[in-house]
Amino acid sequence: MSQDLETKLSAARTKLILDKPFLGALVMRLPMVEGDPAWCATTATDARKFYYNAEYIRDLSLDQTQFVLAHEALHCALSHFARRQHRVKFRWDIACDYAVNPLLLKDGLTPPLGALHLEEYEDMTAEEIYPFIKENDDSELLDQHLYDSDAKGENESPSQGGQGKGKPQNDPEGGQGDKPTEQGNSEEPSQGAGQPPPLAADERERLEVQWRQRLAGAAQSALQAGKLSAAMARMVDHLLQPQLPWRALLARYMTSTARDDYNYSRPSRREGEAIFPSLRSAEVDVVVVLDTSGSVNRPELDEFLSEVNAIKGQVRARVTLHACDAALDADGPWQYQPWEECRLPEELHGGGGTDFNPPFEWMEREGRRPDLLVYFTDAIGEFPEQPPAYPVLWLVKGKAKVPWGERIQLN
């Protein structure tokens, strides 16, 4: 590393520690390594180190250098290397960049050219953004995410990050993956480290725990210094809370409405002196409303109802099913007893605007006060001004908020 480049990177890290101690503490966890330009076009991380292209860093301002350092550190702190699961790699990588960059922009950092950012993705996680990334998306990443790869290579992005400056990983002219260029076999000697291999499964698990601990420690230090922004605080709070999939949360809410209890009343004398508890049960009244405005597709509705069916038998729930866009479906409602399977009608009328008032108005006209109302929707529409006197659970597809009730994110 040349002296001027070392000074620039050290100055950027020092400035982050002083001005943004949360980000600075995370950046300090990534050793800085110059990468061979044959594969490292801009910056990269494998959750172990920060790799950079020397010429690229030289062209950045000091403020932009802070941004790229913090960008890689946040990918690691948010455990993006461990959360992809079944998702397509290049779409996941794009979603991760869209999740990270708004946090840095809100924290006042200056992005370099090519940083992905869309306002509609602000305050969304990579899992929430991923469904909106199209399969043929041609966005180019600011950096390279080296922690995993697709064995067949079929899910790789058309451009391997770095704004298209680098050569493909398997390009015979651009180096061979994780093998550094050997000086004896090349006209030009290697100018930096070779591309690292993807993480092994056990190392991925170990690093996930480490980065979670680092995230918590950095947040605590920044809070004590009074220098943790509201956006970062919300992000940290969300990540450190135990996370449950929407199916588990739906089951928890429906189960909590079950009216099962034990009766310890004294039995008659003919039954003896011992008091044994007896279980008293009553049916749970659940109303389910499906948003048919066009934002939620038929397979998603089928999947949601299959979860309701899996739970309702356990809690002896009687389900009233409504479909609604701007008005209630004229063929509804549909009633299902605890032993009956909830099924979608062959034809659902809808596709218009969204108004959440009709189901609650119907409930008031009918004098109904259910134990729980579950609304499956994108939460974009007109809400009643006042919440009803019964619990409402919104299962939301997308990033929209709800004014009242409990909200579960559908990922």
Tell me: pLDDT of 307 over 60: yes
Which of these, 46, 40, 36, 14, lies nearest to 27 by C-alpha position? 14
Q: What b/e readout covers 53-79, taking b as 16+ CB neighbours within 10 angstroms?
A: bbebbeebeeebbbbbbbbbbbbbbbb
pLDDT of residue 279: 44
Q: Domain segments of the chain: what residues?
A: 3-238, 246-410
Strand-pair category, 50-52 with 32-34 = parallel
Question: Are residues 232 and 238 in contact, defined by beta-carbon separation less than 8 angstroms?
Answer: no
Strand-pair category, 317-324 with 284-291 = parallel
For residue range 75-91, what is the model confidence (pLDDT) as tens digits?
999 889 988 888 899 99
Mean of pLDDT values over 389-411: 83
Tell me the CATH number of domain 246-410, given options 3.40.50, 1.10.4160, 3.30.2010, 3.40.1130.
3.40.50
Please tell me the distance from the alpha carbon of residue 394 to that of residue 408, in angstroms, as a whole number: 6
Tell me: pLDDT of 265 over 70: no
Tell me: pLDDT of 148 over 70: yes
Torsion angle of the four alpha carbons 78, 81, 86, 88, in this order, in degrees rounded to the nearest 10: 100
For residue range 326-358, what is the model confidence (pLDDT) as tens digits?
888 888 899 988 888 888 777 776 556 788 999
Give the lowest-confidence range in 49-58, 78-87, 319-328, 393-402.
393-402
For residue range 33-45, what is the model confidence (pLDDT) as tens digits?
999 999 999 999 9
Please tell me the distance from the alpha carbon of residue 271 to that of residue 268, in angstroms, as a whole number: 6
E strand or H helix that includes residue 374? strand 372-377
Per-residue confidence band for 167, with pLDDT thresholds at 50, 70 and 90 = very low
Which of these, 230, 243, 205, 210, lies nearest to 22 by C-alpha position? 230
